[in-house]
Amino acid sequence: MNIATKGEGDIVDLTGEVRETLKDSGFKAGIACVFVPHTTAAVFVTENESGLRSDLVRIMEKVFPKGFGYAHNTGGDGNGHSHIRASILGQSVSVPFNDAMLDIGTWQSVVLMELDNGGRPRKLIIQLVGE
């Protein structure tokens, strides 16, 4: 499946897509692995709240600033910061499920964060293991 992002710092809630994949699968218990095969995007679990989304964008700039002078920026993309941020956050998350329901907390969501300079289509892989 493809997910369109709007630009750097965009956080897209994937929880509905993961739930729909689980519902369509017929599995009752197991693990859902959510993976984005890109080196400048990340997938993780967080509270999908506007203040926290803003905080995530701000802390990424503070800890991994764009103007740091990354060696990777020499290629012309100017996205060395994007690769570092994605390496720290990770490109996958595993979420257990039981009774065909994700075992996530009340406020938890599975999200994709765009870390590159612009928005783009991102491939998303959801793989289920279970019974």
26 CB-contact burial (10 Å; exposed 0-12 / middle 13-18 / buried 19+)? exposed
Q: In this structure, which topology does domain 2-130 adopt according to CATH?
A: Jelly Rolls (2.60.120)
> Which pLDDT does position 12 carry in this prediction?
97
Whether the predicted pLDDT of 75 surpasses 80:
no
Does pTM surpass 0.85? yes
Q: Which residues contact 14 (CB under 8 A, 6 or more apart)?
A: 3, 34, 43, 109, 110, 111, 112, 124
Assign 67 a pLDDT band (cuts: 50, 70, 90): confident
Which residue, 63, 36, 31, 58, is CA-closest to 122?
A: 36
Single-letter code of the amino acid located at 89: L
pLDDT, tens digit, 9 for 90 and up, residues 102-130 = 999 999 999 999 999 989 999 999 999 99
Report yes or no: 124 and 1 within 8 Å, Cβ to Cβ: yes
Residue % of the chain over a pLDDT of 70: 98
> Which pLDDT does position 123 carry in this prediction?
98
Report yes or no: 32 and 131 within 8 Å, Cβ to Cβ: no
The mean pLDDT of the chain is 94
